[in-house]
Amino acid sequence: MKKILFLFSTIIFLMTNLYADKTYQQEQLAIAMYSKGYDLGEIDKYKEAIVVFDKLIAKFKNSKNEKIREQVAFAMYSKAYDLGELSKYKEAIRAYDKLVEKFKNSKNDEIVEQVAMAMYSKAYNLGELGKNKESIEACDKLIEKYKNYQNEVVQGEVAKAIYSKGYDIGNFGKHEEAIEVYDGLIAKFKNSQNEKIQEQVVMAMYSKSYEFGELGKHKEAIEVCDELIALYKDHQNETIQGEVAKAICNKGYELGELGKYKESIKVYDELMAMSKDSQNEVVQEQVAMAMYNRGYDFGELGKKKEAIKAYDELIEKFQYHKNSAIQEQVAKAINSKGYELGELGNHKEAVKTYDGLIEKFKD
């Protein structure tokens, strides 16, 4: 009898190990398939990546194993993302919807993160299609579902959704409503130590200042810019540094709108001094704008020679830059230089300047 029991327990042990080995192998297979698709996406082979994700999803869609289900969720999200990269926004939205529907009740944090990311990405893709109202609705669904969910990745998606909602509302010309949305984001996340969330807070502060400017509330816009600059001027995050630069430039612009050109020029000078060696393209864009606006303000003060010098400095610094926004400022500077030369009666030099602009940008 003891021998029978020993043989039976041995068989059970071997079968359990065999099942465990097979489960482990299936988990590793799912991980390998997802990783292959991900790496194909990283080298811009989106179509090939989608094929791999589809195979993974088809093979493991009914698995009850949590680790495998995580890989299915990753694959479903990545497939939708890659469709978006191919500008197939409608297909991407359908793919995000499938992910949300399949895993909407999951309690697994890894999967919940993918659901929240999918809900935000759906809103983003709706925006890319110009469906801003639907985008706002999608943001609202995400915010409502996960506003109190205690996971930093998920809260990051909530912050992005609130910001995007404010941005879309502002694009509808509803500037006061947009400000209310941004205020809600700032209040909710102002003490967060998560850098991704901090980025959204700073973006909301800058956008709030912009909306005040759109309402003609220039003093309020300046106050928000000052608050942003004071809080984040020494932050090392590249995105946040870009928003600080935008706030400084916007402060200068709003001062100009109030006719305070001398103060405006000082602000632009500060931005140029603190950012002259920055390799951050967003910061460089703001420096180029500041340099152009500085020339414009000199013109408003009747200081035409100083205006021309300011334009020359911009042209010299950025004439070969590849960034299209910066090249736009260069073109404006050349044009404005020509105008100021004409105002000084230097018409031949003005013509040469315009010829230079035509030659540079003819193609």
- Residue 245 in domain: yes
**Mean pLDDT for the stretch of residues 147-162:** 97
In a domain, 114, yes or no: no
Q: What is the number of structural domains in the chain?
A: 1
User: Does residue 95 lie within any of the structural domains?
Assistant: no
Position 238 in a domain: yes
Cα–Cα distances in angstroms (integers) from residue 54 to residues 58, 83, 225, in the given order: 6, 12, 47
129 lies in some domain? no
pLDDT digits (tens, 9 = 90+) for 311-324: 999 999 999 999 99
Cα end-to-end span (Å), the chain: 94
Give me the DSSP letters along 66-118: HHHHHHHHHHHHHHHHHHHHTT-HHHHHHHHHHHHHHHTT---HHHHHHHHHH
Rounded distance, CA 16 to CA 8, Å? Answer: 12
**281: in domain:** yes
CATH number at residue 322: 1.25.40.10
148 in a structural domain:
no
Look at residue 13 and tell me whether its pLDDT is greater than 70: no
Q: Is residue 147 part of a domain?
A: no
* One-letter amino acid for residue 286 of the chain: Q
Compute and round to an integer the Cα radius of gyration of the chain. 28
Q: Are 135 and 126 in contact (CB under 8 A)?
A: yes
pLDDT beyond 90 at 41: yes
Please state the pTM of the whole predicted model. 0.89
Specify the pLDDT at position 11: 47
What's the domain range around 234? 222-363
66-85 vs 2-42: helix crossing angle, rounded to 10? 10
